Amino acid sequence: MSSDEDVAAASRHTHFIGKKENIIQARRVKSVGERDVLVIYHQGDFYAIEVRCYHSGGPLQEGDIEVSCLCPWHKYKITLAEGEGLYQAVDPSVKPLKPTWCSRGVKQRVHTVTLSNEDVFLTLNDSPGPTDSDYYQTEKYRNTFLKD
Ligand code: FES
């Protein structure tokens, strides 16, 4: 693909989300093409993550945000930048037992956020490899909790 084709392809997948100040004040869920995406501002950075949790479709827009997003349904942790599922593990041979955070790998599809002056744009990550959260972007689930 030529450089011009790359630019054209990128612009087809890039969407205006809102004004920077508005997203800083309140997280936002946007339906972009075939996907519903949660856009968050957290500690100086913007993130875009698919809104339904990879575990069972929980509403991440209602989750607590730390360094990761904590799903409100079963409390799974998902990193905002990479979409990694996190879990705590202990090595039973080490006493006293001390839990450490480990990664299940990338489970939640994340997208790219860019800024242009005061405007926030989202570029969809349409990489072909399935991500666990893709299951909850199907029509069956898209008609659930976002429609009110
Ligand atoms: Fe179970 Fe998110 S739906 S942890």
Report CA(59)–ligand 1 centroid distance (Å). 8
Q: If you average pLDDT over residues 101-118, what whole number do you get? A: 96
Of ligand 1's listed atoms, the one at least distance from the Cα of 74 is 4
Give residue 129's domain range. Answer: 3-142
Total of domains in the chain: 1
Say yes or no: CB of residue 41 within 6 Å of ligand 1.
no
Position 147 in a domain = no
Residues 6 or more apart whose Cβ sits within 8 Å of residue 97: 90, 91
Report if residue 148 sits inside a domain. no
Q: Please list, residue by residue across 8-29, b when 16 or more beta carbons sit within 10 angstroms of its beta carbon and e when fewer do.
A: eeeeeebbebbebeebeeebbe
Residue 50 lies in a domain: yes
61-99: pLDDT as tens digits = 999 998 789 999 999 999 999 999 999 999 999 999 999
For residue 115, give the CATH number of its domain: 2.102.10.10
pLDDT, one tens digit per residue, over 65-75 is 987 899 999 99
